Amino acid sequence: MLSSSVWRGVSKYAFSVGLVCGGLASALALLVIGSLLRVVAPTGIWLTLMGVWFLVMAARELGFVHFAMPQNARLVPESVFRHGPVLGPWEFGWEMGTGVRTYVTSSLPYLLVPMIALFSTPLTAVAAGVGFGLGRTLMTLMNVSYDHDGGWDDAWVRNQRTLQSILLVLFASTGGIIAWSLLH
């Protein structure tokens, strides 16, 4: 779909803006929900649960354990493009950017959700939402610009374990910094 004629011109930029807007909307919704949860237990309990959750998700990400996570295992329908070359791709991006309307292929978003809900400030929630949208944008634009004979997928398969490990280390480092700052 992304390599079709629909993806030319302004459409890819509208799609990208939609991805960022969707990520931002999800992060702000999580912040509101988390604000209600934070009153239930002290920060130390949430940090402990987050540490255990990280270990479970890291084991899942690296393939040591296998279990399904909740997701909407359907693609966003191409019918959203009935809205034209700007609003259609923007809606498509919005729905993908929320992270709840299409496949989620990594465990990392499932780590980000409780981090935003339980530990974010409004500013860090905005940064996380925009970062999620930009990350999806980067991956999409790189995939579209890659050759279309399966080269992107082949490159991912060759480097998957290394990339997953790097991302987990970066995620753990960020989580560790957040935990340290909350405890001091």
pTM above 0.85, yes or no: no
Q: How far apart are the first and last CA of the chain?
A: 49
Cα angle 176-168-139, degrees, rounded to a multiple of 5: 125
Q: What is the DSSP string of 68-115?
A: ------SPPPGGGGGG-TTHHHHHHHHHHHTSSSS----SHHHHHHHH
Which of 137, 73, 78 has the alpha carbon at shortest distance from 105?
73
Sorted by sequence, the CB contacts under 8 Å of residue 41 that are 6+ apart come out as none
Cα angle 127-130-134, degrees, rounded to a multiple of 5: 130
Give the pLDDT confidence score for residue 76 in this predicted structure.
Answer: 67
- Tokens at residue 14, please? 């509208």
- Tokens at residue 161, please? 């374990």
C-alpha distances (whole Å) from 91 to each of 29, 144, 156 are: 18, 19, 27
Number of other residues whose CB lies within 10 A of the CB of residue 88: 20
What distance in Å separates the CA atoms of residue 38 and residue 33, rounded to the nearest whole number? 9
**pLDDT tens series, the chain, 184 aa:** 455 555 556 788 899 999 999 999 999 999 999 999 999 988 889 989 999 999 999 999 888 999 988 877 777 677 777 888 888 889 888 988 888 777 777 888 888 899 999 998 999 999 999 999 998 888 888 877 776 677 777 888 899 889 888 988 988 888 888 778 877 7
What distance in Å separates the CA atoms of residue 23 and residue 86, rounded to the nearest whole number? 18
